[in-house]
Structures are given as C-alpha cells and as structure tokens.
Structure 1
C-alpha cells in the first residue's frame, strides 16, 4: 500500500462548491434524522409499555453497525463515493417513508419499527464511511481545509441531531405521529439531490476490487493494526466513548438525585454540553497547529476526566453545566482533530474501511460503556458511574501518554 499523499488535489473541479453541497446535504439530512431520534422512542412508547421492548429501538441502530459495518466499509472502497451516498440516502428515504405510511394508516407494529431502525442503520453503514472518504476528495488533504470542513460538518451534525431536530420532531409527533417520519423521508431525498451534483469521486483502483469482501476487510484491519498513529486514534476514540457513556448512561438519574434539577433543568445540562461542542467546532479549525495523532485522544480523555471530576466533587447544577460544556468541547475537538488526522494518514483506497472500522470500534465501546454504567450504578450507587468515568478517563490519558513517550523514544 502507498501512503496517503499530503498534496493530493481535490477531484471536484470546484472544491468550494462541492463542500457547500456536502454541508447542505449534512444539514438537511441530520435535521431530519434528529426529528426521528425523538419520534422513534415516542412511537415505541405508544406501541408498548415494556422498557426492554422500547430499548430495542436504540439497540437496533447499534446492532446495524456491529453486524454490517466492516463489510460495508470494504464495499465503500470499491464503489464511487457520490453514488454510494446518493443510493444510501434514497434507500433511507424509502425505508422511513414506508414507516411513515404505516404510522399514518395505523398498521405499524413494534417489530416493524425495530426493523426499520435496523435497516436505516445498515444504510448509514454505507453512507457514513463514504462521506468521510469523500471529504478529502472534495477539499484536498491540506490540514487547514480538512480541519475546517470537519469542524463545520460535525457542528452541523451536533446542531441537527441534538439541538434542532429532536424538539421539532417531538412537537410534530404531537400534531401527527407520521409527520416527522415523512419529514425525514423528504430530507433524505433532498440530501440525495444535493449530493448528485458532486463531481465523480471514485476510490483509487487497487487489488482490493478483486478480493473477496472479507479478505478486503482483513486487509483494512491489517493496515490499521500496523499503522501506529491510526491504531492509537482508534483505541483513543474507543476509550473516549467507553468512558463517556459509563457516566452519561445514568446522568439523568444523577442529575435528578444529586444535582436536584428538574426535567427542564436536565435539558439545559444537555444543551450546555452541545453548546460546548458547537463552540469547539467553530474554534478548533482556526487553530494554527494540528496536534500529533498520538496526543489527540490523550488530551481529550484528560479533559473529560477533569470535567466529570468537577461534577462529582461539586454537585451543583451550575458547575455541572460548565463541566459538561467542557466535556462537550473536548469531545468535538477530539472528533475534528481525530477525523482530520485519520483522513490525512489513510490512503484513499483504504479510507472507507478505516472509517468503518473506527466507527464500529467507537459504537461498540459506547454500547459497552452504557451497559457498564447501568450495572455500576445498580450495584454501587449513583456516584459510581461519574467516579468511574473520571478515574478511568484520567488513567487512560496517562496510559496513552506513556505509549506516546515510548513511541517517540524508539
């Protein structure tokens, strides 16, 4: 394999126009998905009162990545990026549109809802790696341009998925349960139309096109395992997600009992975290220096550990809001810097597989963290989740620091 070229030029003849199309597509698509993030659990709660059955709608999205993520990444590396994204969007539009019709006609059942969430996740397994692999082809591999593009895209993702989409989706669901689903279907169609205007973005031809899919998957895993910086980026992101979700999975209980906040107050805590992320998404790309790949998640974990420690030792709603804003900023900073480093370090013909593998590792770690957090709080009490995250994040940061020093000493 050849190393990624630092001076690779964008394939799109008008990179600014191509980036604008990607940004517009992201904004529209994520806003639609944000609406459904609120509508799906609300619909599930109408269909069943069993907490386990309701939780299946969340688990189905995780399951899609764990089952399909790696082979999807291998296929993405064989197919044109633009075509993959457009087809994935149209497939998602058809799935969520069919669900909307079922809701409107009142024939929807829980198994159908869970199946639709899983299939939407499967389509996302193709769309997301293709979008990550497409970005260097649109803007080139220049560090500043890549960081700026990643910051804008992830800020739009956070804004639509956490701040704009869910309240709109919940409000529309009250008016008519099918409306947010029809809205999401329309958003996917509009996203596909925007992406169709991008230039042709095919991966570089390699022998992987002739390999069986799972041999191609192994090739991607082998490359990732042998590349020290990419390996540390993947491990760092998995650790960050694991630690974060240990505390976040029971944060609502901690906030109610320890911070004495109302349901509305809890919403403001989440908004503070999102606000910190948006601020970082704006500021990080303006920094003059891209930190080394080996320190990105080490610093992020250290900041996360300090943030949760502040919440633990000073159980005050205002302190918690500030600390969560810091944690949100650390998360966004690590995401932007990590994504930029990954795109610059990975050859184009492997970027789909590397992106998918990283996402699978991150989602698997997040799911494990959520389960572990619930178990810890169940056994040891409400402080256990936050305390474990704080100590674990600081310890993981220290370990990554030792690994970096040893790698530099070779």
Structure 2
C-alpha cells in the first residue's frame, strides 16, 4: 500500500504561494470593478470605448502570448511572477496619481490596462506552470482546487469590499488598494522557495522552434485540442456579453455601482462552491464528464443576463443577474479545475510554459477581438441583442467537448504522452467514441 501525500495545509512553502495568489486575486478583483466604473461613470465612456478598454487589457495574450511561454520555460517562474506583480503595482498606482493631477483621460486607462495585461500574461503562464514544481504530481488537483477556491473568495469579497469603499471613497482610490495587493503578492512569492533551475543556454533552440514545439503538443493532443477549441469559443462569446455588462447594469437597469458589485459578489459564491465541490463531484460522475457538462451549464446560465431586462422590478433584475453569475461561476470553476489539472498532468515539465502559453494564446487571444466586436455591436444593434448572440455562441462552444471521449470518462489521463483516449478507456471511460474533426 502507498501512503497518502502530506496535506498541503501543512506545507509552508505552498502556503506562502497560496497567500501570494490570494492577495493578488483580491487586488485584481478591485481593479475588475474599478476599471469599468471609472470609465463609464467618471469619464463617460461609450460602448465602443468600453470595448477598446477590455481589448487593451487582453490584447497582450494575442500579441506576446506565444513568445512569453518560450521565455518562461527558460527562466525561473517564481521570479517572473514577482517581476510581473511589481510592474502591475506601479501601473495601477499611476491611475490615482493622474486623477489627483486632474489629468486622467480615457487613453490613460487604455495604456494602464495594456501594461497590466502584458505583465499578467507572464504572471499567468508562470502561475499555471509552477504548481507541478511546488507540489507532488498527485497533489496537483488538490492544489488547483484550493487556489481556485481562493480566487472565488476574492471574486466574492473583492467587489463587495470595492462596493463598500465606493460609498465613502472615489473610484480612483480603488486602484491604490489593487496596487498594494500586487506588492504584498510579490512579498509572499519572494518568501516561496522552489528547486527550479533555468534551462542551460546550450540546450536552447531558436525561439520560433521552441514556440512551435508547444503549439504542436496542444494541437496534436486529442483532448487538449478539443478543450482549446471549446474554451476559445466560450471566451469569445462571453466577452461579447461581459464587455457590455457594466452598461447594462449601470444604464439600462439603473442598478448603480452597488448593484454591479452585488451581482459580481453574490454570483461568485457559485464559483467558490464549484471550486470546493469539484473533487467530490469528480469522484461520482467522472473527472472527464465534468468538462462537457460544466461547459453546457455555463452556456445555459448566461441566458439569464439578457433576460434580466424583462424583469418587472430592480430586485427581480438583480436576482436574475445573481442567479446567472452563480451558475456561470460554479460551472466555469468545475470546468477549469479539471481541464487545467489535466494539462499539468499530461504535459512534460520542459514544455509546461509553452503548453500553457499556447493554450492561453488560443483561448485568450480571441478576447480582445471579441471585446472590440462587442463594443461595435453594442452601438450598432443594441446591448441586449448583442448579449443574445453571446448566448448562442456559448451553446455552440460546448459541442467540441460534449461530443468527445470526455463524456463518460471516469479518470483523466495522467501521462506525459498524448494518448489520453487509450488511457481513458483503460480506466473505465466506457466504449470508444467516434473522434470527429480530429
């Protein structure tokens, strides 16, 4: 018999990393609330300008996502995360300084969002690649579950804290709190220790060749490729809706900043519950099955957001938004925990950065394009019709994983070779399913 791995709650090194992630997430959620409210309420941003702002924040995944993965594989990932936190702290601090100088205009927000986006690319690629370095392979799913639970606590508490602060403080002051959060995250990352060594210079290949190796691993993997397609389509559809959500809540429904914060906070409770419940659900319905089921539930829940416009009262509209956020967050967290854990388990250590960067390029690179399209459609055909297009796109996004061997798979593959279909059948995934499109 093999002994169970020690609890991560007793691992001081993981606890330092976990603390850094928690603090950074709270700072990020304050910014997620502050950016659109500052743009819409104080600077009078139009739907298109809000779309450009969201595009600026995510364009880095499209522009530097692939080379970032190759660079992260060459460097010490923890040091990359510390540097990214410091860059984000400085960039966020610039917003209140410009406001106090009475010089803040919308293009300043575009610039700050772009700088933060570049730093976030390097932080996120490193973050998703360092977990298998800090913990044992059999602890990866548990570590991801804890990290995602904290992220959801931040999603729930961050907007609530921001909403409370907005009752006594002005919006730009929220950026001060976010900047401080990134600084504290850097401190805890500095206290974290790892055994990672940088790749030897003589082992490095041309950057384009290393990037291509990571892309080929994702595209040729029979399950990762389907997950990448599903996630990219879902992200493109979701950004059509969530780019316009602040305008829907603040202008169409007239629920105010407090209403937007309440919807984000209460809805995030679903994400927290999803993060905590996913390991339990996986044991009963199957690790692979969670992925297509969660993708379908997330798409269906999104329909409640445009339906909120039909509510007869503010309370019913807010209830519709909260229910939608709850369902979206619960299913999204279950989806992410299982698919990220699988990525970390099946990928060779030397390719982790490039694999994660390749997937981020594919699934986040569509977001700035979707944000720009959302801003255009919001002005051309209206907020609610654009959101219904988003709902339809989300339902289509679930098809690549719904019609795949993941449905019915009890245990996800735990191999560094791209043979999950064979392994899944050996572990009780049921009869083979016809592989479409691949």
TM range (shorter): 0.7 to 0.9
Q: What is the root-mean-square deviation of aligned Cα atoms in Å? A: 3.8
Does 2:286 align with 1:285? no
Q: Which of residues 31, 40, 52 is equivalent to 1:36?
A: 31
**For the residues of structure 2 that align with 1:118 and 1:382, how far apart are their CA atoms?**
25
Cα distance in 1 for residues equivalent to 2:399 and 2:41: 46
In 1, Cα distance between the equivalents of 2:326 and 2:62? Answer: 30
- Distance in 2, matches of 1:277 and 1:225, equals 29
Structure 2 partner of 1:141: 137
Would the alpha carbon gap of residues 311 and 333 (structure 1) be closer, same or farther in structure 2, given more than 3 Å must change? Answer: same
Match of residue 12 from structure 2: 17
Distance 2:278 2:381 in 1: 38
Cα offsets for 1:285-322 (capped at 9, x unmatched): 33453987865542222212433457778965456643
Q: Is the deviation greater in 288-297 or in 276-285?
A: 288-297
What's the counterpart of residue 407 of structure 1?
Answer: 435
| Equivalent runs, 1:134-283 vs 2, <5 Å | 134-142=130-138, 145-161=139-155, 163-165=157-159, 167-168=161-162, 171=165, 175=169, 179-202=173-196, 205=199, 210-250=204-244, 262-263=255-256, 268-283=262-277
TM (norm. structure 2) is: 0.75
Equivalent residue of 1:86, what SS? helix
What's 1:118 paired with?
114
Query: Secondary structure in 2 aligned to 1:175?
Result: coil
Q: What CA distance in whole angstroms lies between the structure 2 residues aligned with 1:160 and 1:79?
A: 29
1:146-181 C-alpha deviation (Å, 9 max, x unpaired): 222212222322332464157427826963666433
Contact 1:34 1:169 in 2 (8 A): no
Structure 1: give runs of 5+ residues left out of the alignment. Answer: 1-8
Q: Evaluate the alpha carbon distance shift between residue 240 and residue 191 of structure 1 in structure 2; reply closer, same or farther with a 3 A threshold.
A: same
- 1:345 is matched with which residue? 346
TM-score after normalising by structure 1: 0.80
Specify whether residues 367 and 387 from structure 1 end up closer, same or farther in structure 2 by C-alpha distance, changes over 3 A only.
same
Sort the Cα spacing of 1:216 and 1:296 in 2 relative to 1 into closer, same or farther, 3 A. farther
1:64 aligned partner? 60
Q: Distance in 2 between matches of 1:134 and 1:302?
A: 30
Partner of 2:336: 335
